[in-house]
Structure 1
């Protein structure tokens, strides 16, 4: 067993993304005033050739204009739904305060270019609803008023605490690759 432990650690490290300080939130959870809450929806309208469809938001570094991940730490919020047209779910995450972008690791590009979302400390922000469309692209709908009833159904009491996340259009960040 002792010989396998170092091998397991090397495999995990090379697999990358060992540490993620983002965690899914349930209705009962509270968030520290030093962290933020982000909420977003994922909806299927088109046909996806896989059993599930995921949308991931990655922590973003303003100084480098890249995602903050590397082979050991990688903060990301990941939401997955069944790839059945008509399916829609909302998700909430407790995240380090900062900025987030639509991940370059997602299976499809975001229509209209990538967007940076701000998640200020002590705040709960609504990112929007990512919709996989009939033409195999992802569009972002950002109407919080329209989404409130669906958010309240999925995450009771959270919709009234939300404000729209401040956004800026950014270039698509590059992915990182972990290799020996």
Structure 2
């Protein structure tokens, strides 16, 4: 099952993203708010692999030693092919790209998918909805309009374990739990 390393956002930004999720639900559109998993929350995926050994936690924490990191959550973006993903882009600052590159180096020997998350190919974003059809994309864009850019903070890095459906904080703080 999939393993990931993910950036966590400050509480205010997380709340603003969740509000957008609920606006999509209120418009009867796909939304991450419909994902009932206990670990579901706004995040930015840094790395994905089929397996990430627990021994990576210490080097991941070292890679993220400069947290908190200011970021700008920018415009909407539509990703994907036949079915689409609606997301908010993060502006790719040198500091954010350096953090991503450091995490990519730590996870570079992990087996499995990762091409889309390689340095130079990564599109930092926070997912709002998955699996949208073309007409649903148009409706979602109309529903959300042009979101105001959000000055935000990356506050932590967590690991998600798809086998156990659990997460653990490996760097920084999780403002959701204090």
| Same fold flag (TM > 0.5) | no
More strand by share: 1
More helix by share: 2
The structure whose Rg is larger is: 1
Q: Which protein, 1 or 2, shows the higher relative CO under an 8 Å CA cutoff with sep ≥ 6?
A: 2
TM normalised by structure 2 equals 0.27
